[in-house]
């Protein structure tokens, strides 16, 4: 099943110059970049990204911290395409809490902060990247961040190994 998913390299990932390293991991896994741009989001846009669903799951304070975090610097927004792209990207990214992310994942290799520390310090957890959690989230986030004209279809070398 070929699908598309959304990834955002968050302000800390951009500020730490991790964009190339992160994108390379997805490309090496055979995922295709079909949309990419850098955007500095305001809080109004960040509210649309972090919907009230996150507030229901994690609380109002966490949502506010995430909105501030997403709008504190530029984000590199990416749409990736590939076989089971959503699941594969989530595995490459690793657990949301960096302390729990396995070595070899993006968060496991580039972050280490725990929920406990972030809560104690009243900070959004700096985990360098966002990845859509499921098909519905991916569709919503892609439509939010990209216009149809900003998404592209093309063949790459990996397609030779996927298609008959």
State the catalytic residue, choosing from 130, 152, 158, 161: 130
- The pLDDT score that the predictor gives to residue 159 is 81
- The pLDDT score that the predictor gives to residue 164 is 63
Confidence of residue 91 (pLDDT cuts 50, 70, 90): very high
- The pLDDT score that the predictor gives to residue 52 is 76
Q: Enter the tokens of residue 116.
A: 């406990």
Answer whether residue 54 shows pLDDT above 80: no
- DSSP 3-state assignment of 3? strand
CATH topology of domain 2-152: Alpha-Beta Plaits (3.30.70)
- The pLDDT score that the predictor gives to residue 81 is 97
**97-111: average pLDDT:** 96
Confidence of residue 53 (pLDDT cuts 50, 70, 90): confident
- The pLDDT score that the predictor gives to residue 58 is 75
The overall average pLDDT reported for the chain is 94
Contacts of 98 (CB under 8 A, 6+ apart): 107, 108, 110, 111, 112, 113, 114, 125, 126, 127
Give the tens place of pLDDT for each residue, 2-42. 999 999 999 999 999 999 999 999 999 999 999 999 999 99
- The pLDDT score that the predictor gives to residue 151 is 98
Confidence of residue 56 (pLDDT cuts 50, 70, 90): confident
- DSSP 3-state assignment of 71? coil
Q: Kindly list the domain boundaries of the chain, sorted by start residue.
A: 2-152
Give the tens place of pLDDT for each residue, 108-135. 999 999 999 998 999 999 999 999 999 9
State yes or no: is 84 an active-site residue. no
Buried b (16+ CB within 10 A) or exposed e, 10-27: bbbbbeeebbeebbebbe
- The pLDDT score that the predictor gives to residue 34 is 98
Confidence of residue 107 (pLDDT cuts 50, 70, 90): very high
């Amino acid at each position: 099943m070929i699908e598309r998913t959304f990834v955002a390299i968050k302000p800390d990932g951009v500020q730490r110059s991790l964009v190339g390293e992160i994108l390379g991991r997805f490309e090496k896994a055979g995922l295709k970049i079909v949309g990419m741009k850098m955007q500095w989001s305001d809080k109004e846009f960040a509210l649309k990204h972090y919907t009230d669903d996150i507030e229901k799951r994690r609380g109002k304070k966490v949502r506010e911290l995430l909105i501030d975090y997403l709008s504190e610097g530029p984000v590199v927004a990416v749409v990736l395409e590939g076989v089971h792209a959503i699941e594969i990207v989530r595995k490459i990214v690793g657990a949301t809490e960096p302390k729990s992310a396995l070595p070899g994942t993006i968060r496991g290799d580039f972050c280490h902060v725990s929920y406990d520390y972030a809560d104690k310090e009243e900070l959004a957890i700096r985990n360098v990247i966002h990845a859509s959690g499921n098909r519905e989230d991916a569709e919503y986030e892609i439509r939010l961040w990209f216009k149809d004209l900003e998404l592209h279809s093309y063949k790459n070398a990996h397609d030779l190994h996927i298609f008959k």
